[in-house]
Structure 1
Amino acid sequence: MSSMRIRLVGFCILALPLFTRGVETEIVFREAPHRYLEHQPDDRFARLRKGIESGGIKLDTTDDKAFLSSVLKALDVPISSQLLVFSASSLQSEIINPRNPRALYFNEDVYVGYVPGGKVEIIAMDPEMGAMFYIFDRLRPQGPVPPITRSDKCFNCHAGNATKRVPGLIAESLLPMLSGASAETYRRDEQGHQIPLEKRFGGWHLTGQHHLKENLANTMARRSASRGFEKIKIEPGQMSDLSLHLRPTSDILPHLVHEHQIGFENRVFHAAYVMRQLLADGRGNLALSAKPQVEELADELAQYILFVDEAKLPAEGIEGDPDFIREFQRNKKPVTNGASLKDFDLKTRLFKYRASYMLYTDSWQKLTPALKERVYFKMAEGLRDQNANPVYTHIPAEEKRAIRTIIKETVPDLPSWWR
């Protein structure tokens, strides 16, 4: 197969102010000090591209499903992470609807989208600049690997209010009509595990043992002469051909993990852009006037990492897809007693130990050291046995001790004072 060609389409992004609790920091991510477009990506997909171009990695172009499977395998993205969304909220919105849902797949640093009859889209997280957006041209079966475009159209949504004006990740909750267009919006400009489950899943299929008696999933709007429109339930496969996808599921557990991850990534990269700007404004040093903003960023990150305000699970808990659990935990980092940050609870909360496994990612590890140290300090304040910060009272003492041990033994580059 021939090497994959990369095309870069020009961007046209205006200077937009970014606000943090009343403190204004202007971020123009394509200009200094960020220079997003000039940055040479070092994300998982960028490395895959080099392997393809060198001839070391081959992709299967037999047909759409074979091509998608080979892309996922090359990126180490589990098929069991599949989520199905039927709202028209993508570059390929014209072909996404309840009759033709789009599939999403993910691991810790790559997000892959595919809609039958369309193209494969990829968002890969560069550890310095955040989300990098790629889309394959339409596959010609048995032909060469199609070229890839990085399009400015992604930034219409992926660098807006939802991501605080820097390249990031979004997940919406909508009530789609048969066309895929939205009749109602439940939530748009917010991501993360704090969002109540009753506000999630609009425009998405939801499968598995989720025990959600009332939810927005598997629902579309149909026009009604008397009421404008009415809501009707559509089970996965009722209006679409699920054989066009790699599996028939859109399980509750990958939904919850995906929401946690994108909330983490958006907060980390918002902070990374702000810190880069503040350091540039101070010519390599943080001005005294910048320190309150750094503290606010550190508070937000520490609280998210330790699952403050995590949304409640149903009273019966949930049951996750065993395939996803197994593949998600393949790279867990256990301590001597076997405990890890990837251990699930699924009874009252998502994880058994409420400290995010995303601490192992390059997104976190390459965050500005001055900010990262402040986050660790605030985490330590919340996890100590006595006189802990009351914000973290949701974590009992035994769990706090377990979290401290796991972090100390498995997270690299901790401050020397961490206990």
Structure 2
Amino acid sequence: MKLIISSPFSAIKLFSFTLLAFSLVSPNSSRANDLYETALINYENRQANNDIETLNKALLEKKVKLDFHSRRGFLDALLKELDIPINSQTLIFSKTSFHRKQIYPSNPRALYFNDEIYVGWVPGTKLLEIAISDPELGAVFYTLEQKQNETIQFKRDDSCLSCHVSSRTLNEPGFFIRSVFPDESGEPISRLGSDTIDHSSDIGSRWGGWYVTGKKTEIHRGNTIYTKDSKRIAQPHKALTTHDLNKFFNPDKYLAQSSDIEALMVLEHQVQMHNIFTQRNFQAIKMIEAEKSINRALGESGRRPLTEKILHNASDQILEYMLFTDEIPLRAIEGNANFKEEFAKDKISGKNGDSLYKLSFKERISELPCSWLIYSQAFKGLQPDLKKIVLKQLEQILTAEDIPINFIHLRKSRSRIHQLLLETLDGYPAS
């Protein structure tokens, strides 16, 4: 590559570009930590564009009405309107959220979700908490007042970023699942630490501070209260999974009688997938803009080699997680809330019935190890150059004669995934 430094201004631009480029190569770079605050992203001042904003407009124009329940407020109607299944319910009794003062082992926080949206509810509180993966902004947070008013509106709440931008969310607006060691009030015992969980986490480290129901499981931390004398242990001695929440508290005030282990595992996979989409999308957006700037300064055009390297690095990160390369092997997981059946109902499928929404939990979460979030708005909203590289590399992984060693787990399923994506995913394969 020929470089001509024609002025001090050009030299400064080139130097800035080089610093930015090298910072974006590493996902842990401190220089990448504030991408959402840049003018390119403009998180706090930019109008969100997602299903909650669409619903807000419909509510304002009286095109949609949310019925009010005497005990649960707008929760029932909201889940129905957003097509969020009731049996996605998971229950957190640790004091690790906005309503921590109202959360106890006898009054856990309920979390409901679909592919894009997460709704939190604590009995007796005045606000519903809603979070959504916005294709342009990453995680965006809202509250809904539990009060009958003439005009019902969601309020965007950026104060949530005080917790939801950290290393747990890859330093961009995102989501995270924590496993803690809760005491009898639900307060995490800080000296014992905590773990951030995704599909690569050992089962023995999961679900501290959560209720877990199901028929079959491996040993985990759920359903357990710890004391001030407790020691942090890598692996509990037994699993306290149960099909009956009445052993711990009266669940009748909740929509479901479960905190299903299958729902928990799906939740853990997709929150981190959303985070990776956001982080790598922001990096690509800023990298492309920096490339344009340096090309203008040097009077050049075209793709710079370093930009290409960084985009491919971002694509590698997306695909490794999307294709479950580091997923922990499972032995026997079975829920008790028919979540698996509900999750796949009426979802995208191929001509032969294959679907990325078909869950297994025998050796892996998914029958076909490719994330269903490839159909999400977050994936569709990836920076176009980055998305094209992702789709091109994905096709190569699924069709090449030799399988890369880190994708060897796809050897029995990759032809089915390839055929399914040909039938169901716009833009695949990338031309």
TM-score range for the pair, normalised by the shorter chain length? 0.7 to 0.9
Change (3 A) 1:415 1:404: closer
Tell me what 1:75 maps to. 82
User: Counterpart in 1 of 2:195?
Assistant: 187
Aligned to 2:401: 386
Contact 1:80–1:323 at 8 Å: present in 2 too?
yes
Answer whether contact 1:124 1:131 (CA < 8 A) is retained: yes
Taking the aligned partners of 1:402 and 1:294, their CA distance within structure 2 comes to: 27
The answer as to 2:288 corresponding to 1:288 is no
The equivalent of 2:282 in structure 1 is 273
The question of 1:201 aligning with 2:215 is answered: no
Question: Shift in Å at residue 182 of structure 1?
Answer: 0.8
Structure 1: distance between partners of 2:387 and 2:67: 41
After superposition, what is the alpha-carbon deviation per residue over 1:242-282, rounded to whole angstroms, capped at 9, x for unaligned?
11211120011111111111111000011111111112222
Residue 413 (structure 1) aligned with residue 430 (structure 2) = no
Distance 1:294 1:180, change over 3 A: same
Q: Partners of 1:402 and 1:62 in 2: how far apart?
A: 45
Q: Cα 1:177–1:254, aligned 2, differ >3 Å: closer, same or farther?
A: same
Q: Post-superposition shift, 1:51?
A: 1.0
- Choose the corresponding residue for 1:327, options 342, 358, 362: 342
Please tell me whether the aligned partners of residues 202 and 218 of structure 1 are also in contact (alpha carbons under 8 angstroms). Answer: yes
Alpha carbons of structure 1 residues 147 and 51: separation in structure 2 relative to 1, 3 Å: closer
Does residue 132 of structure 1 match 2:140? Answer: yes
The CA distance in 2 between the partners of 1:257 and 1:215, in whole Å, is 16
Q: How many residues align?
A: 391
1:368-383 mapped onto 2 (5 Å cutoff): 368-383=383-398
Query: Deviations for 1:142-191, whole angstroms, at most 9, x for unmatched residues?
Result: 55566543333311111111112211111100011123221133413xx4
Q: Are 2:40 and 2:286, in contact at CA under 8 Å, matched by a contact in 1?
A: yes
Q: 1:286 to 1:120 in 2, by over 3 A?
A: farther
Q: Which residue number in structure 2 is paired with residue 7 of structure 1?
A: none
- How many percent identity over aligned positions? 29
User: Residues 372-411 of structure 1, C-alpha deviation per residue, up to 9 Å, x if partnerless?
Assistant: 1222232233223522212111122x41111110111111
Structure-2-length-normalised TM-score = 0.84
Output one character per residue of 1:184-209: Cα deviation in whole Å (capped at 9) or x when no partner: 33413xx4311121111111000012
Match of 1:105 among 105, 112, 131: 112
Superposed CA RMSD in Å reads 2.5
Q: Distance in 2 between matches of 1:117 and 1:307?
A: 39
2:59 is the counterpart of 1:44: no
Matches within 5 A, 1:146-161: 148-161=154-167
One-letter amino acid of the counterpart of residue 170, structure 1: F
Alignment partners' CA distance in 1, 2:160 and 2:250: 27
The aligned residue for residue 297 of structure 1 is 314
Unaligned runs of 5+ in 2: 1-22, 294-301
| 1:245 corresponds to | 254
* Partner Cα distance (2:330, 2:342) in 1: 22
CA distance in 2, matches of 1:366, 1:61: 34
Change (3 A) 1:88 1:374: same
Aligned residues of 1:170 and 1:262 also touching (Cα < 8 A): yes
Alpha carbons 2:35, 2:283 under 8 Å: kept: no
8 Å CA contact 1:278–1:286 kept in 2: the answer is no
- Whether the 8 Å CA contact 1:318–1:347 is kept in 2: the answer is yes
Secondary structure of the structure 2 residue equivalent to 1:33: coil
Letter of the structure 2 residue corresponding to residue 403 of structure 1: I
- Provide the C-alpha distance between the structure 1 equivalents of 2:30 and 2:393, rounded to a whole number of angstroms: 21
SS of aligned partner of 1:125: strand
Give ranges in structure 1 of 5+ residues lacking alignment: 1-16
CA distance in 1, matches of 2:89, 2:144: 19
* TM value normalised by structure 1: 0.86
Partner of 1:264: 273
2:10 paired residue number: none
Higher share in strand = 1
Matched residue, 2:417: 403
1:298-338: CA deviation from partner (whole Å, max 9, x where unpaired): 11111111110111112xx2223463223211232222211
Tell me the distance in 2 between the aligned counterparts of 1:221 and 1:263.
Answer: 27
Which of the residues 91, 98, 116 maps onto 1:91? Answer: 98
SS at match of 1:242: coil
In structure 1, the residue corresponding to 2:32 is in which secondary structure? strand
Q: 1:143 to 1:63 in 2, by over 3 A?
A: farther
SS at match of 2:118: strand
Structure 2 match to 1:336 = 351
